[in-house]
Structure 1
Amino acid sequence: MQSPSNSDHHHKSITSQHPLHHLHQTPSQPCMMFVPAKVSIQRPHLLMPTFTLRRCYIQLVCAVFLVLVVLIIRMLSNVRTTFVSFHADSDTDGELVVLPEEFVQKRGALCLDGSPAGYYIRQGRGVSRKYWILHLQGGAWCSTQEECYKRSFTELGSSLRAPVSASFEGFMSSDDAINPDFHDWNMVRFLYCDGGSFLGNRSQPIKYKSREIYFRGAAVFDAIIDFLLTQADLGSAKKVILSGSSAGGLAALIHADHLRKRLQKIKSVHAVLDAMLFVNLTSRSGQKKMMNILENTFHLHHIKDSVSLSDCSQKMSDDTKWRCFSPMYFYKHMFTSAFFLNSVHDRWYLNQALDVTCDFNKCSSSEIKYISDIRTGLLETVHAILTSQKDGRYLTACPVHSVLVNNFFTQPLDGHVSPQEAIGDWYFGRNSMSSANVIPREAFPEAVSLCYKYFNDDEKTFKR
């Protein structure tokens, strides 16, 4: 028997070990190979955009959603809180209260842009919870439609633009070192958003540049008083001081007797009037600019119909009633006891009404001479205030505008008491009346030099 060859043995060995051995059962069967079919993958064709009701609906929903998001963001950025009763104590600042819409609409108490009236408040402490200072904010006037239109987009014409809190300084400070006599009283600062010293009384708005402008200052004043009486316990007050600065000082002068009549149950009602002696002197250019500002404001805002002026204007013709908007003319009809603060070199008055435009540290000799003449004219014009037995006064030579609610409140000139001491002495009857009867003796150049040391951090105080 013939033995297999080495080659056959090798062939069998490989065949038995091959993993596909079972596919080759017979030598004659051809070897088959599977190749996957070639698949052609086509990219989907996008249909051309077509207008469908469903597509329109989706786009509309998205647009509405975006608009709502924008409105919500804007609303949150301008959020204002309306308080019906006192909120939590604030140590220093006053917090904004915007009067409720329904309360405002019944009274027409609207800012220039038609937004609701408002005020800032800080609650009193301890025994002083029955004592109130109501302060009327300053900010000049708008005496033309264009001025009022521009103003309506600012916090001087809209409660929507007003910050949610306000710094209370000087006479309204909560620091007993700065304001020892009144620091713990209830403090209210009326938001000045009407442009007419809280005295406008035009029944219908004026449409200007597609915007309705409201002149409702008198209604704003009365509505805030109504709200404080009914919702903030002003009705139980024992002492009330109505104060104001600049245009707010003129407003406080004219509203003082009216407020006194409204608070008949309150025995102690006084006024503190700051930077409001806008006397009708001739400017360097030969004009009566102060008279023109007051008269134009009076007519534009229909101030003649304000009840606070009735005692002064009732026997006057419509053409002459505007004189009651002049402080010295109205003062003859004022009954409420008042304290007057003013500079005989009032920087706003010198610049805006009298055309004095020099840097106070660099005025020419002719400008200094004119300023000295103005000082003499002012003192002669306010003679009735200077000689009043029931009123106090503090006139300074410092070229400042407002005295009451800034850092000058505690600063005396050499040889004088500070405004803070003078007001306290007058109000509480302390010491002698001489401390509440300060008349400056310094000439203008000397006053600038003396006052400068009190304002090293605020040189612009002496700028025009």
Structure 2
Amino acid sequence: MNPSVCFERRKRTLKLLCSVALLALSLSGDADGRKVRGSRAQPRRAQPPAQFRERSEATESFPLDFTAVEGNMDNFMTQVKNLAQSLYPCSAQKLNYDMKLHFLENATVTCNDGTPAGYYMRESKGSRRWLVFLEGGWYCFDKENCGSRYETMRRLMSSTKWPQSKTGTGILSPQPEENPHWWNANMVFIPYCSSDVWSGASPKTDQNDYAFMGALIIKEVVKELLTKGLEGAKLLLLAGSSAGGTGVLLNVDRVAEQLEELGHTGIQVRGLSDSGWFLDNKQYRCTDCSDPISCPPTEAIRRGIRYWNGVVPERCRQQHEGEEWNCFFGYKVYPTLKSPVFVVQWLFDEAQLTVDNIHLTGQPVQEGQWRYIENLGNELRNTLKDVPAMFAPACLSHEVITRTYWMDVQVKGVSLPRALQCWDRSLQDSSKNKSTLKGCPVHLIDSCPWPHCNPTCPTIRDQFTGQEMNVVQFLMHMGFDVQKMAQQQGMDPGKLLGMLSSGS
């Protein structure tokens, strides 16, 4: 059978089946609704496969609420999809939602070792939304530690062993149960192989042992995507975690300017920076600058920006001329940006604590360390208070938007996917009546003062036994003195333990 004819038949059949399914569900709503009224179960969302939707359809992701028959939803929709796939021989093959590897056509834009840079992509023909994700993974700033990085973390400096496909998780997932607002967007994952916080613009030469071309890789990927559907986009979300999160702050305006210069003024460009909002604060214990982990952040970036020939946003560069390293720190570069950016940041970020020389190795934390950790949370709160769109849980962790548990963490009862959806609505409705956004917050920051005082924080495990710890066990493990703290607060120790357990 002709593949295109088969595809069209399969598409029409699936649409018909989905219509029948929706009709059946809606008719069953009144009868079944009485059975489940008052149930605590959460509504599930049905997934119409994006591959079967025509490019001419402008429909974006639509969370469907079938509360009345939620108990049977997964099984029912599975049967519908299985039936559709079995109708024709060409449908029997399991649908593949993985992102596929593409190497850049411009071979002069490379990874550190001169191998071709590239990206992974999953196309969603029915969507005009694009999510471009920048991977994280620290950095190196001189010949010695870059050489060590090449020996121990070659995947982050070379494309030689990249797999041919990659499965998206969290905000990159194609499953609406895991990714309710972005599941059917066009997904692009750019592997980090430039070691320069996505800022470099220097090729590998006889004089330079390594290429540092992070900023150029982003530019080249965007250029290629314009030939693969991006030219018809409505929205491009540049997202990233850790060094990729900082890379978002450094590149989001540059991407917007690139598209505008090429005549694509109708594409809205936004940023989503996860765990890339670092502080240039004084370390708990000062050390020399022998490697990226122990080196004070300001000194590491000073050395790095020279070694990489790093570029920063123009308005930030003008404000910090001669000291462009300042632009790698969120609270300094953010006010200079034109593009809307949503900031996701743990208040007790593990990478920040590491560069500050606070190492949680299983030994009880000394009182001075504990005060330093608490103060870090306060400092982060202060730098984030004027950021209108942000999500900052009081957790000890690092990175979240590509984690499978990213829907579980909440701040003030609101999950991160919900906050991002509210942000999207707030930008769409900016010219409309703000009252329509009541109950849809976008500025979410925990007020409780200790690591993991938020009960929805990711699970903590003992570094030696691997056993899970609750928040009270964790705080005691950290050397938290419940008796002393209760005395300072003027309350019973048992009451304080109860408040900590509940996240109060």
State the TM-score, normalized to the length of structure 1: 0.70
- Describe the shift of the 1:451–1:360 C-alpha distance in structure 2 as closer, same or farther (beyond 3 A): farther
* 1:241-294 deviation line (CA, Å, top 9, x unaligned): 111111111111111111111223234221111101111111111468121222
CA displacement at 1:455 relative to structure 2:
7.6
1:440 aligns with 2:446: yes
Residue 358 of structure 1: aligned partner: 360
Contact 2:347/2:392 (8 A) holds in 1: yes
Q: Does 2:227 align with 1:223?
A: no
Which stretch of structure 1 is more off in the superposition, 337-346 or 372-381? Answer: 372-381
444-453 or 132-141: bigger deviation:
444-453
Q: 2:175, 2:356 → 1: CA distance?
A: 37
- Percent of pairs identical after alignment? 24
**Mean Cα deviation higher: 320-329 or 88-97:** 88-97
Matched, 1:99 2:119: no
Shift of the 191–416 alpha-carbon distance from structure 1 to 2, 3 Å rule, reads same
CA deviations 1:31-69 (Å, max 9, x no partner) are xxxxxxxxxxxxxxxxxxxxxxxxxxxxxxxxxxxxxxx
Aligned to 1:347: 350
* Alpha-carbon displacement from aligned partner over 1:121-152 (angstroms, at most 9, x marks no partner): 111153x1x21001111111111212223434
Match of 2:250? 254
In structure 2, distance between residues paired with 1:223 and 1:185? 20
Paired position in structure 1 for 2:130: 132
Residue of structure 2 equivalent to 1:46: none
Structure 1 residue 415: Cα displacement: 4.3
| 1:259-270 equivalences in 2 (<5 Å) | 259-264=255-260, 265-270=265-270
Asked whether the 8 Å contact 1:96–1:163 carries over to 2, the reply is yes
Change in CA separation of 1:400 and 1:433 when aligned onto 2, cut-off 3 Å: farther
Is contact 1:276-1:327 (8 Å) kept? yes
Q: Which moved more, 1:259-268 or 1:239-248?
A: 259-268
- Aligned AA (2:347): V
C-alpha contact 1:245 1:274 (8 A) present in aligned 2: yes
Cα gap change, 1:445 to 1:140, in 2 (>3 Å): closer
Q: Which residues in structure 2 correspond to 1:311-390 (within 5 Å)?
A: 311-314=315-318, 316-318=320-322, 320-351=323-354, 353-359=355-361, 362-385=364-387, 388=388
Q: Could you report, residue by residue, the CA deviation over 1:155-203 in whole angstroms, capped at 9, with x for unpaired residues?
A: 1111112222223111111110111111011000111110112211225
Matches within 5 A, 1:300-319: 300-303=307-310, 306=311, 308-314=312-318, 316-318=320-322
CA displacement at 1:370 relative to structure 2: 1.6
Q: Which residue of 2 aligns with 1:176?
A: 176
Secondary structure of 2:254 counterpart: helix
How far apart are the structure 1 equivalents of 2:319 and 2:143?
Answer: 29
Partner amino acid, structure 2, of 1:241: L
Conserved in 2, the CA contact under 8 Å of 1:137 and 1:244? Answer: yes
Please report how far the alpha carbon of residue 315 of structure 1 lies from its aligned counterpart in structure 2 after TM superposition: 6.3
Contact 1:399 1:448 in 2 (8 A): no
- The 8 Å contact of residues 284 and 369 in structure 2, kept in 1 or not, is answered as no
Rounded to whole Å, the distance in 1 between the matches of 2:195 and 2:439 is: 36
Aligned to 1:398: 395
Q: Residues 164 and 267 of structure 1: is their aligned pair in 2 closer, same or farther, counting only changes over 3 Å?
A: closer
Amino acid at match of 1:379: R
Q: What is the match of residue 197 of structure 1?
A: 197
Structure 1 letter corresponding to 2:343: F
SS at match of 2:168: coil
Q: Which amino acid is 2:250 matched to? A: I
Q: In 2 relative to 1, CA 360–182 (structure 1 residues): closer, same or farther, beyond 3 Å?
A: farther
Residues 226/152 of structure 1: CA separation in 2 closer, same or farther (3 Å cut): farther
1:422 is matched with 419
| 3-state SS in 2 of match to 1:410 | coil
Instruction: Note the alpha carbon deviations across 1:404-443, whole angstroms, 9 max, x for none.
Output: 1113310134742111111111112374376211111233
- Report what 2:291 is aligned to: none
What amino acid is aligned across from residue 369 of structure 1 in structure 2?
Answer: R
**Counterpart Cα distance in 2 of 1:134 and 1:438:** 24
Match of 2:404 among 404, 407, 416: 407
Shift of residue 206, structure 1, vs aligned partner: 6.1
Does the 8 Å contact 1:119/1:224 carry over to 2? yes
Aligned with 1:294: secondary structure? helix
Structure 2 counterparts to residues 59-70 of structure 1, below 5 A: none
Deviates more, 1:218-227 or 1:198-207: 198-207
Aligned residue number for residue 116 of structure 2: 116
- In 1, the alpha carbon distance for the partners of 2:180 and 2:451 equals 32
Structure 2 contact 215–251 (Cα < 8 Å) conserved: no
1:451 and 2:438 matched: no
Q: Distance in 1 between matches of 2:226 and 2:162?
A: 23
Unaligned runs of 5+ in 1: 1-87
Greater Cα radius of gyration, structure 1 or 2: 1
Inter-partner Cα distance in structure 2 for 1:448 and 1:416: 10
RMSD: 3.0
What does residue 25 of structure 1 align with? none
Amino acid of the structure 2 residue aligned with 1:94: M
Q: Give the letter for the 2:129 counterpart.
A: Y
Question: 1:370-407 CA distances to partner (integer Å, 9 max, x unpaired)?
Answer: 2101111222233332xx3xxx1000111111021113
Cα distance in 1 between the residues matched to 2:377 and 2:314: 32
Shift in CA distance, 428/447, structure 1 to aligned 2, threshold 3 Å: same
Aligned to 1:51: none
Count how many residue pairs are aligned between Structure 1 and Structure 2: 356
